Structure 1
Amino acid sequence: MAFQTIEDLLKAIREHPEWREELRRVILTEELLQLPERFERLSAIVQQLAASVQQLVEQGARHDEEIRQLRKEFHEHRQEFLAHREEFLQLRKEFYEHRQEFYEFRQETNSRLYRLERDMAELKGSDRERYYRERAGAIFGRYLRRVRLVDFSELYEELDSREPLTQEELLEVSLLDAVVEGRRKSDGTPVLLAIEASWSIYPDDVQRALARAQIIAKRGYTVYPVVAGKYAEEGLIESARRLGVLVVLDGGRVHGDTALM
C-alpha cells in the first residue's frame, strides 16, 4: 500500500491502531520511549517528597506551637523574675540601711563600753591606791619601822632642796600613787618606797615605778620601786625582780623583798 500524503498515513494509522506502537519505535529514540516510565518514577518521588514536606510542615507547626508556649512561659517567668528582682532590690536597700544603723549602733556601743571599761579601771585603780595607802603599815611593817605615808608637798620640797626638779620630773613624781618611808629593821637605814598601784599590774607599771623611783634616788635617797595590785601578768614578777622592782599582790607577800631585809 502506497501513501501519497501525510493525511493518507494518518488515516491508515487510525484504521490500524496496532501500527502506532511500531511507528513509535521507528520514529522515537530509545530515550524518548523510556520517558513515560521515568515520569512514573519521578511522580512517585515527587509524591514522597510532598509527603515529607507535609510531615515537615506539620512538625514545623508543632514546633511553632511549642515555641509560642515557651515564649509564653518565658514571659511569665520573666515577669516573676522582675517581681523577685524588685523585691530583692528593696531588701538589699533595707539591708544597707539596717547595716548602717547597726554600724552606728555598734560604734556607739563600743564607745560606751570603752568609757565603761575606762571608768571601771579608774575606779578599780583608785580602790587599789586607797587600799595600799591605808595598809602600808601592815604590808611593809614586816620590813620597816616607823612606816608612814609621805606628804607629796613635803617630798617635793625635800627633793627640790637637794637638786632642783624639772617640770617633767615634778610631774612624774606627782603621778606616783603613794610614797612610803621607814627605817629598815635590819640596819636602821631610812628608805623610801615609790609605789605604783593598779587593779592589774602590767610591764608598763613596772617601767613607770622604776623611772619615778630613779628621780628620787638621783637626789641621794635609798628608794625602792614597788608595783602593787590584785593581779599580775604572767612572767611579770620575774621580769620585775631582774629590774629591782618589788611586786605586791593584793596585800600579800612582797616579791623581791630581800632588798628590804
Structure 2
Amino acid sequence: KLAREVARLGIGMGDLQRTQKRLIIDVADLKGDSLERRYRERAPAYLGGLIRGARALTTEDLDGLLESAVDLGRLSEDEAKEVLHSDVVVRGRRREDDSEVYLVVEVSSGVGPGDVERAARRAEILSRSGVAALAVVADKWITADASRRAREMHVWQVTDGTARRPE
C-alpha cells in the first residue's frame, strides 16, 4: 500500500513538473507580448534616442509597403512575410540628416544572438524594398554574446530605453 502511494505521488509530481514548465513558457510568451506592445504603443519614448518622430507602423501599413516591393520585383512573397513577422517596425527621421528611416525592432525578454540575427536579416530585406532600414534589438538586458554579435552585424541595442550605437 505504501509503495502504491509513493508511486501515485511520483506520477503526480511528474504531472506538476510538466504543468510548471508549460506555465513558465506561457508566462515568458506573455511577457514578450507585453513588451512588444509597449514598444509599439510608446515608440517615441523607447526609440526617440535613435530617430525623431518615431511612429510604429500598423501591420496593414507595413503590408502595403511590402506588397508594393513585391509587385516591383524587389522582394519575394516569402521575404515580405519574413518582415511582416517583425515585432515592431517604426518610421521616423534620422537625427543626423533628417532623412526618413525605418527601424526593424526585435523585442525579446532577454536578447540573444538569434534576436540580433533576425533583426539584421529583416532590416536588410526591408531595405531592399527601397527604404532606409536599421536593425534594432530591445529589452531590459542583452547577453554578452548578443551584444558582441550586434556590434559585428551593426545592430542598434536598446536596453531599458537607452539606445547604443553598433560600434
TM-score category of the 2 structures, normalised to the smaller one: 0.7 to 0.9
User: Contact 1:150–1:181 (CA<8 Å) still a contact in 2?
Assistant: yes
Highest RCO, 1 vs 2 (Cα 8 Å, sep ≥ 6): 2
Aligned partner letter, 2:55: R
2:134 — aligned with what? 224
User: Contact 1:213–1:225 (CA<8 Å) still a contact in 2?
Assistant: yes
Matching of residue 250 in structure 1 with residue 160 in structure 2: yes
Aligned partner letter, 1:256: R
Counterpart-to-counterpart distance in 2, 1:146 and 1:209: 21
User: Contact 2:55–2:91 (CA<8 Å) still a contact in 1?
Assistant: yes
Distance of aligned partners of 1:235 and 1:181 in 2 relative to their CA distance in 1, 3 Å threshold: same
Counterpart-to-counterpart distance in 2, 1:203 and 1:192: 21
User: Contact 1:237–1:255 (CA<8 Å) still a contact in 2?
Assistant: no
Distance of aligned partners of 1:208 and 1:109 in 2 relative to their CA distance in 1, 3 Å threshold: same
Counterpart-to-counterpart distance in 2, 1:203 and 1:168: 23
Of 193, 201, 208, the match for 2:111: 201
2:97 — aligned with what? 187
Matching of residue 131 in structure 1 with residue 41 in structure 2: no
Distance of aligned partners of 1:106 and 1:170 in 2 relative to their CA distance in 1, 3 Å threshold: farther
SS at match of 1:119: helix
Aligned partner letter, 1:145: R
SS at match of 2:8: helix
Query: What do the CA deviations read for 1:27-65 (whole angstroms, capped 9, x no partner)?
Result: xxxxxxxxxxxxxxxxxxxxxxxxxxxxxxxxxxxxxxx
Counterpart-to-counterpart distance in 1, 2:44 and 2:16: 43
| Identical pairs, percent | 34
User: Contact 2:66–2:80 (CA<8 Å) still a contact in 1?
Assistant: no
Higher share in strand: 2
Q: TM-score, normalised by structure 2?
A: 0.85
Distance of aligned partners of 1:184 and 1:110 in 2 relative to their CA distance in 1, 3 Å threshold: same
Q: CA RMSD in A?
A: 2.2
Structure 1: runs of 5 or more not aligned: 1-89
Structure 2: runs of 5 or more not aligned: none
Deviation at 1:120, TM superposition (A): 0.8
Deviation at 1:224, TM superposition (A): 0.9
Deviation at 1:234, TM superposition (A): 2.6
User: Contact 2:157–2:164 (CA<8 Å) still a contact in 1?
Assistant: yes
Distance of aligned partners of 1:143 and 1:197 in 2 relative to their CA distance in 1, 3 Å threshold: closer
Higher share in helix: 1
Counterpart-to-counterpart distance in 2, 1:225 and 1:143: 11
1:147 — aligned with what? 54
2:85 — aligned with what? 175
SS at match of 2:86: coil
Counterpart-to-counterpart distance in 2, 1:133 and 1:163: 25
Matching of residue 121 in structure 1 with residue 28 in structure 2: yes
The structure whose Rg is larger is 1
Q: TM-score, normalised by structure 1?
A: 0.57
How many equivalent pairs are there?
A: 164
Matching of residue 235 in structure 1 with residue 149 in structure 2: no
Deviation at 1:175, TM superposition (A): 1.8
